[in-house]
Amino acid sequence: MTKITLKDGLTINAVLTGITGLGLALFAELAAEYLIPGAPVWLIAALGIALVLFAADVALIARWKAQSKPWVGSVFIADLAWVIGVPAILVGMPSAFTTLGIAASLAVTAVVACFALIEWRGLKTMGAAKAI
């Protein structure tokens, strides 16, 4: 089994998050129609833009601050919030999403959970797990 380093995990996180955000920002109308009917297009586009900005931050952290406990910890907390928040939203508002929207949301959340595990392992290695 190949062990993914914290720096590589953060880099992959940045790339995949950036692609997802760009897709949502550029195709907000389609995403609203096929994933969350009734959601304002501006809200989907704003989520996409926020993800692109987060991806840029994660890329910078991966490049220059991968050994910084506070910076990596902030990415971990954000990813953990996603992993907890998305299922909570799906449970709280299931009728707002199409079946494809639910499947896509859970698939992205599973990937983000993998990133959070890599980050947790990296923080633990740095001795920062107790600080989080």
Q: Has this prediction a pTM greater than 0.75? A: yes
Residue reference for tokens 């991806």: 55
Distance, in Å, from the CA atom of 28 to the CA atom of 41, rounded to the nearest integer, reads 6
Max Cα distance, the chain (Å): 45
Structure confidence by residue, pLDDT tens digits, 54-82: 999 999 999 998 889 999 999 999 999 99
* Sign of the dihedral through C-alpha 63, 54, 118, 4: negative
Q: Which residue has the higher pLDDT, 3 or 111?
A: 111
Whether the pLDDT of residue 129 is over 50: the answer is no
> Contact 75/119 with Cβ under 8 angstroms?
yes
Residue reference for tokens 């740095």: 126
> Contact 116/17 with Cβ under 8 angstroms?
no
Structure confidence by residue, pLDDT tens digits, 102-128: 999 999 999 999 999 999 999 999 874
Whether the pLDDT of residue 130 is over 80: the answer is no
Tokens found for residue 32? 């609203």
